[in-house]
């Protein structure tokens, strides 16, 4: 019993420091929100051009949904991925400026520092959610807008953005330079996107690609977003929210653990 206050205090301090780092990321975004506008262009192009064109092609099995409805959760997931996967470059900047050195010389646990950064990536992505949902609504996509699925959607986006942000931090710690990071980032995003169910179901893929898709966290994110966003999607064949959230949570935890381990190496 005597140890409980100490443990509780440690847990509270851990989350307070994590929140401090996330808060810092959000404040930077609020001081210069132009990034939000430029980030909104890509999902708009996918929804308004690719989505509209493919809607007329009728070549993809969408479980009875209009293609644009089927595509919307995929584009939402893609936006989250594209924002989060480049989040790691900020720690290379911060390393060059000496900011990382000061964080590492502070008593904050390394896991707080990377988790806070990852959740900062999540906060950026949440703004993208609003953009995509508004565009989809304007395009006539029918979505579930009741509180519980929306809360699930926010959680799913935070988890996935955190996961890909942490992955991005790992890449940054390994490659260490902006130039290499950009190259590797470009190399990762498209395979992750196309080897998932974002724009077509995995059943259309060749068997080998289906196996890859099942190891791709983006597949679970898209599956969860479809269940949470599309009315009646839970009645069609899908992976299942429980599995989706379990995979996303465990992968996120693993990524945070690895990135916390690697984070100090970026200053060496």
Partner 1 sequence: MQQPIIDIHELTRRFGNACVVNAISMTLQPGEVFALLGRNGAGKTTVVKMLATLLEPTSGRASVGGFDIVREAAQVRRIIGYVPQALSADGDLTGYENLNIFAKLYDIPRVERAARIRDALAFMNLSEVSGNLVKTYSGGMIRRLEIAQSTLHRPRVLFLDEPTVGLDPVARASVWEQLGKLKDQFGSAILLTTHYLEEAEHLCDRVAIMNRGRITAIGTPAQLGAMISPTASLEEAFAYYTQDHPQAGGTVDDASRNHLAFQQID
Name the site residues for partner 1 (rule: CB under 8 A): 13, 16-17, 20-21, 23-24, 27-28, 31-32, 94, 96-99, 101-108, 264, 267-268
- Min dist CB 102 to partner 1, Å, is 6
Query: Quick one: 18 or 166, whose CB is closer to partner 1?
Result: 18
3-state secondary structure of 164: helix
Query: Quick one: 118 or 213, whose CB is closer to partner 1?
Result: 118
All residues at 6 or more sequence positions from 255 whose CB lies less than 8 Å from its CB, including other chains: 118, 162, 163, 166, 167, 170
Nearest to 124 by CA among 89, 79, 172, 176: 79
- Min dist CB 24 to partner 1, Å, is 5
Query: Quick one: 110 or 144, whose CB is closer to partner 1?
Result: 110
- Min dist CB 32 to partner 1, Å, is 6
How many whole angstroms separate alpha carbon 189 and alpha carbon 42?
14
- Min dist CB 112 to partner 1, Å, is 8
- Min dist CB 223 to partner 1, Å, is 36
How many whole angstroms separate alpha carbon 186 and alpha carbon 175?
14
Distances (CA, A) of 137 to 20, 29, 246, 260, 267: 34, 26, 29, 39, 46
Query: Quick one: 240 or 264, whose CB is closer to partner 1?
Result: 264
How many whole angstroms separate alpha carbon 20 and alpha carbon 25?
9
Query: Quick one: 28 or 178, whose CB is closer to partner 1?
Result: 28
């Amino acid at each position: 019993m005597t140890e409980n206050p100490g443990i509780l205090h440690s847990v509270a301090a851990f989350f307070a420091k994590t929140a401090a780092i996330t808060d810092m990321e959000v404040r930077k975004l609020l001081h210069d929100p132009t990034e939000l506008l430029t980030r909104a262009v890509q999902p708009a192009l996918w929804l308004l051009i690719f989505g509209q064109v493919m809607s007329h092609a009728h070549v993809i099995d969408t479980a009875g949904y209009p293609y644009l409805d089927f595509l919307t959760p995929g584009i939402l997931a893609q936006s989250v991925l594209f924002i989060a996967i480049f989040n790691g470059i900020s720690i290379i900047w911060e390393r060059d400026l000496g900011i990382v050195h000061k964080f590492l010389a502070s008593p904050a646990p390394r896991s707080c520092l990377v988790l806070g950064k990852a959740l900062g990536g999540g906060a950026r992505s949440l703004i993208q959610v609003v953009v995509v949902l508004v565009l989809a609504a304007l395009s006539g996509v029918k979505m579930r807008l009741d509180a519980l699925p929306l809360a699930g959607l926010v959680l799913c986006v935070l988890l996935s953005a955190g996961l890909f942000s942490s992955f991005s931090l790992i890449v940054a710690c390994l490659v260490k330079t902006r130039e290499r990071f950009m190259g590797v980032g470009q190399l990762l995003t498209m395979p992750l996107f196309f080897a998932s169910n974002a724009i077509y179901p995995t059943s259309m893929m060749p068997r080998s690609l289906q196996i890859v898709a099942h190891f791709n966290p983006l597949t679970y994110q898209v599956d969860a977003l479809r269940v949470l966003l599309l009315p009646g999607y839970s009645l069609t064949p899908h992976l299942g929210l429980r599995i989706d959230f379990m995979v996303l949570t465990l992968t996120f935890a693993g990524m945070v653990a690895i990135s916390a381990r690697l984070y100090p190496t970026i200053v060496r």
